[in-house]
Amino acid sequence: MEIIAKLGSLLGLSFVSGINLYATVGVVGLVTKFNLIQGLPPEFQALNNNLIITVAIILYACEFLADKIPGFDTAWDAIHTVIRPFGGALLALMTVGKASPGAEVLAFMIGATMATGSHLAKSGFRVLINTSPEPFSNMVVSVAEDMGVVGLAYLSMAHPVLALIITVILTIIIIIVLPFLWRAILMLLSGLWH
């Protein structure tokens, strides 16, 4: 059961890192700092540093504002195409703690893959939403993403088995939807080019 719980934390935290790394780091840091959940990996203690929490919250505030501006949010996502997957991979490593080198490499790869998948889905979905003439849909989606990230990050630590189920369902949805999403984006770009 411990392996399933670790897998739930690993997949959940990696997944939400691909959507908003700074909110995820902030949640993990605050949860460990105030000891809100017992039995977390000791490696999470590295994130309960006041400076790390402050920087994560400041960067989250920047992302919160950037996500509300159509067009700028796409540029922000492009910049984070490397940052989010790498952050998800590092959180996955922290989740497994001291393990065999093989398990650490596997955790790193799974974390990077999960974060990359959720990042690509978020970025693609945002490009399509930006085609809407009104700015409110962008803001609503952004706030919903932020609430989902904070909720699933907390759930990944407090109830990792439930987080595992939710993350697997979301991953299956992304696997099904991502090809259609990218096809729609290519059609949109083709239409703009011509």
pLDDT tens track, the chain, 194 positions: 789 999 999 999 999 999 999 999 999 999 999 999 999 999 999 999 999 999 999 999 999 999 888 889 989 999 999 999 999 999 999 999 989 999 999 999 999 999 999 999 999 888 888 887 777 888 899 999 999 999 999 999 999 999 999 999 999 999 999 899 888 888 887 877 76
| pLDDT tens digits for range 8-34 | 999 999 999 999 999 999 999 999 999
List the structure tokens of 191: 């239409």
List the structure tokens of 168: 């697997």
With tokens 């690509």, the residue in question is 120
With tokens 């990042």, the residue in question is 119
pLDDT of residue 194: 66
pLDDT of residue 20: 98
The predicted model scores a pTM of 0.94
pLDDT of residue 136: 84
Would you say 32 and 95 are in contact if contact means Cβ atoms under 8 Å apart? no
Angle at CA of residue 115, ends 112 and 66, nearest 5°: 130
Long-range Cβ contact pairs of 139-146 (< 8 A, separation 24 or more): 139/68, 142/64, 142/67, 142/68, 142/73, 145/19, 145/20, 145/67, 146/20, 146/23, 146/64, 146/67
Angle at CA of residue 161, ends 114 and 34, nearest 5°: 90
Long-range Cβ contact pairs of 108-111 (< 8 A, separation 24 or more): 110/10, 110/11, 110/14, 111/10, 111/13, 111/14, 111/17
pLDDT of residue 191: 76
